[in-house]
Amino acid sequence: MIPGCPTLDRSHREALKEAGTVAQWRKSSYSASNGGHCVEVARLAEDVGVRDSKNRERGHLTVSLAQFTALLTRLKR
């Protein structure tokens, strides 16, 4: 594991279900024009989840809100 890098968290969804909370995943509005190849994001309890919309069963990447905000800022440049 590399400090500061996001980790794959396969059990986070199960933990949310046990706590009575299910993440609301959102797909980009741009995904319709590229054959469905996209990612989905969800606000988790403390972090942001990112997953492949075509491989949801493989889990998701969990990043901090600060990391996700930095990613969006860089992508908008």
pLDDT along the chain (77 residues), means of 10: 45 56 75 69 89 85 92 88
Instruction: List the one residue out of 3, 20, 18, 12 whose CA is nearest residue 42.
Output: 12
pLDDT score for 30: 65
pLDDT score for 26: 87
Name the phi and psi angles at 24, rounded to 5.
-100, 100
Say how far residue 24 (Cα) sits from the centre of its chain: 10
